[in-house]
Structure 1
Amino acid sequence: MRELSILKPLVRLEQVAALDPVVRNVQKVVLSLLKPRAVEDVLHGVPAGHPLHPALILLPAGSWIGAAVLDLVPGTERAARVLVAAGVLGAAPAIAAGWADWARSGREQQRVGIVHAVANETAWTLYAASWLARRTGREGLGKALGFTAFGLVGFGGYLGGHLGYRQAVGANHAEGVLTRFPEGWHPLGALVDLPDGAAARYDVAGEGLFVLRRGHDVHVLADVSTHMGETLHDGVLGETKRGTATVETTRGSVFEVESGEVVHGPATAPAIRFETRAAGGLVEVRLHRP
């Protein structure tokens, strides 16, 4: 079945460069507010191991769906008003998490995301006005505002689906390495030929690998970030407080090189790690499978 033609202008939002000035200005504001870094990590969902925003939207979306149903049933005005209020209050953390993810995504995702945010936050404003109208006895106005907002939530939800499923915001962009890389040990190169203290990229079995040698220790990760697929070998090297090496990608994700674990988001899944061994001066690698 072919995609509905009415949807094509919506999915083409990612190519609308005219949105870029707005995107750049809003991104600066959002990044300036996302401090300290630990707060941003929570909003991305680093402690949870996957993005937090999709889970947080369940409360406002569910509440507003319930309110829309009850608005069609006589005698349920009070219950509908409670659900509208629950959605308005519950949307706050979802909005914050959404902006955090948006600020660290790619330009094409940000173009769609800015329209997604405008639709949803206009809906939030209308729902707040709907609650006020209901609270003061203007049920008809409250319902009209609620159904208008519900339509915007549906439109915003469609764009959210496009962001998540077609543009893969929040998805693990490195997962395919686990299925592509062949089993067993594979030669990487002579230990003495690996640059000491500097990151490098090597291709092994058709897969790009991030390699960092520190003396006799060689650490290897898949050369692809789990966040948006950025390469790791051209990232910025650093250290944790424990002295272990880290690498920071262009979009701000920080991975511990030895373990692949996420130090800072927006990445929520750890980098794909490889085991290493040296035999006769030759370093070999094997995909680490937990």
Structure 2
Amino acid sequence: MLTKLERASGLDRVGDRIQSGVFAVLRGQRVRDFLHGVWLGHPLHPALVQLPVGAWVSGAILDLLPGQRRAATVLVAVGTASAVPAALAGANDWASLSREQRRVGLVHAMANTVGMALYAGSLAARLSGRHNVGRLLGFSGLAAASSGAYLGGHLAYKQAAGVNQGVHELHRIEDGWHPIAEVATLPESTLLTRQVDDVPVVVFRDGDEITVMLERCAHQSGPLGEGRVTRVDGRTCVVCPWHGSTFMLNGGEVVRGPAGTDQQVLPTRVVSGVLQTRLP
């Protein structure tokens, strides 16, 4: 069923318009980077969803217990309010996904939007004294949000949306030190692509500092070896040619999204003039 959803090209017409709208609203790079979680070094959306989901589930439990109307109402209010920033961060991440991921993500967002609307109605009913209606709307909202969470799990675990796309390459590298190149042959300030056990890595020399990092971008596996070198806040960085994710070449820290995680850098050493690298 979900495979069919991934291939449902009919969703693209709506999805493309919403994507353009998201980019139009979130135009500032700093705003997008904040919502991607660049400052955190971790995607922000999955961290934010813990509060509304936790509050809503706790509220549903209290709705099943006697004498807990006020506490349940407070939890519904907290969950509904905190769902707004979580949805905003999610929309920002969604707009930078691949087309098949956006199709599933669109339905994921629709289910969560229905859940938010039902919980907003539940809160209004509770505040007006109609607690039975509020409970019914709350349980319905939880069902909708749970459906959205299921689709979110499919996005993360099956489609690898928002996860570091390069880390799995580490599992293909054997233990021990691997020769890369003779240091004397490495040009200054030039991105080079080399292989470690058939895994592509980027080699960059800046004076006496030499960086070896995984070549596939953490965001969507873009070829960093074909990227460009730039300076951000005085630090030398590489910019992915696909979506513009920017990483420090000395350390791999992400400085601009849409990537929300750092790029994996490998340890290096020089033995008899030969640059070597190994697993972290």
> Corresponding residue for 1:5?
none
Map of 2:63 onto structure 1: 71
> Whole-Å Cα distance in 1 between the matches of residues 242 and 257 of structure 2?
12
1:285 has 2:276 as partner: yes
Cα contact 1:273–1:288 (8 A) shared by 2: no
- Conserved in 2, the CA contact under 8 Å of 1:119 and 1:156? yes
**CA separation of 1:51/1:245 partners in 2, compared to 1, >3 Å: closer, same or farther?**
closer
Provide the residue aligned with 1:170 in structure 2: 162
Structure-2 separation of matches of 1:87 and 1:197 = 49
Amino acid at match of 1:201: T
Work out the number of aligned pairs and report it.
Answer: 279
- List per-residue Cα deviations over 1:183-219 (Å, max 9, x = no partner): 4443334567656654342223211122345678654
Identity %: 41
| Equivalent residue, structure 2, for 1:135 | 127
2:142 aligned counterpart, secondary structure? helix
Instruction: State whether residues 251 and 265 of structure 2, in contact with CA within 8 Å, keep that contact through their aligned partners in structure 1.
Output: yes
1-side partners of 2:235 and 2:166: how far apart? 26
Determine helix, strand or coil for the equivalent of 2:167: coil
1:57-96 correspondence runs (5 A): 57-96=49-88
Structure 2 spans left out of the alignment, 5+ residues: none
SS at 2:213 equivalent: strand
Offset at residue 93 of structure 1 (A): 1.6
Matched AA of 1:287: R
Return the alpha-carbon distance in structure 2 between the equivalents of residues 90 and 262 of structure 1: 26
What is the match of residue 118 of structure 1?
Answer: 110
1:97 — aligned with what?
Answer: 89
- Corresponding position: 1:255 with 2:226: no
Deviations 1:78-111 (A, max 9, x none): 2222111111111112111111211122211111
Contact 2:55 2:75 in 1 (8 A): yes
Match of 2:178? 186
Q: Which amino acid aligns with 1:146?
A: G
Higher deviation after alignment, 269-278 or 42-51 = 269-278
Per-residue CA deviation, residues 105-142 of structure 1 (Å, 9 max, x unaligned), is 22111111111011101111111111112211222322
Relative distance call for 1:96 and 1:54 in structure 2 (3 A) is same
Query: Contact (CA 8 Å) 2:178, 2:278: kept in 1 or not?
Result: no
Tell me the SS of whatever aligns to 1:87: helix
Structure 1 contact 104–252 (Cα < 8 Å) conserved: no
Q: Tell me which amino acid in the other structure corresponds to 1:69.
A: I
Determine the C-alpha separation between the residues in 1 that align with 2:39 and 2:237: 20
- 1:107 and 2:99 aligned: yes
Partner of 1:53: 45
Match of 2:8 in 1: 16
Q: CA deviation at 1:157?
A: 0.9
- Distance change in 2, residues 1:245/1:132 (3 Å): closer
Cα contact 1:44–1:265 (8 A) shared by 2: yes
Distance across 1 between alignment mates of 2:170 and 2:257: 21
| RMSD over equivalenced CA pairs, Å | 2.5
Q: Report if aligned partners of 1:247, 1:257 keep a CA contact under 8 Å in 2.
A: no
Question: Is the contact made by 1:50 and 1:170 (CA closer than 8 Å) also made in structure 2?
Answer: no
1:237 and 2:217 equivalent? Answer: no
Question: How does the TM-score come out when normalised to structure 1?
Answer: 0.85
Tell me, yes or no, if the aligned pair for 1:218 and 1:276 is still in contact at 8 Å.
no
1:16 is displaced (CA, Å) by: 1.1
SS in structure 2 at match of 1:233: helix
Structure 1 contact 177–272 (Cα < 8 Å) conserved:
no
